[in-house]
């Protein structure tokens, strides 16, 4: 299943907390597209996901919005 998480305008730690809440609904193989504008979260979220065993497949920046495409493992 594909989930979208818009955390634009939120500052750390809210983008990570919102991601953690959404992950509770996910199953292995699901994916999340998260939009982020907070530069601290852009560093924290990939580190946390790697520690938890999930993977960011694509990380891009479009008009000052960071877009993470995350696969749940």
User: Taking Cα atoms as reference points, which of 15, 25, 13 lies closest to residue 3?
Assistant: 25
Fold of 2-71: Translation Initiation Factor IF3 (3.30.110)
In this prediction, residue 9 carries a pLDDT of: 98
Q: Where along the chain do its domains lie? A: 2-71
Q: What is the pTM of this model?
A: 0.93
Q: How many Å apart are CA 61 and CA 32, to the nearest integer?
A: 16
Structure confidence by residue, pLDDT tens digits, 16-65: 999 999 999 999 999 999 999 999 999 999 999 999 999 999 999 999 99
């Amino acid at each position: 299943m594909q989930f979208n998480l818009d955390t634009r305008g939120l500052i750390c730690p809210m983008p990570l907390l919102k991601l953690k809440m959404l992950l509770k609904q996910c199953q292995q193989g699901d994916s999340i597209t998260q939009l982020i504008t907070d530069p601290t979260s852009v560093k924290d979220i990939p580190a946390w996901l790697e520690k938890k065993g999930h993977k960011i497949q694509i990380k891009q920046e479009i008009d000052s919005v960071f877009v993470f495409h995350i696969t749940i493992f």
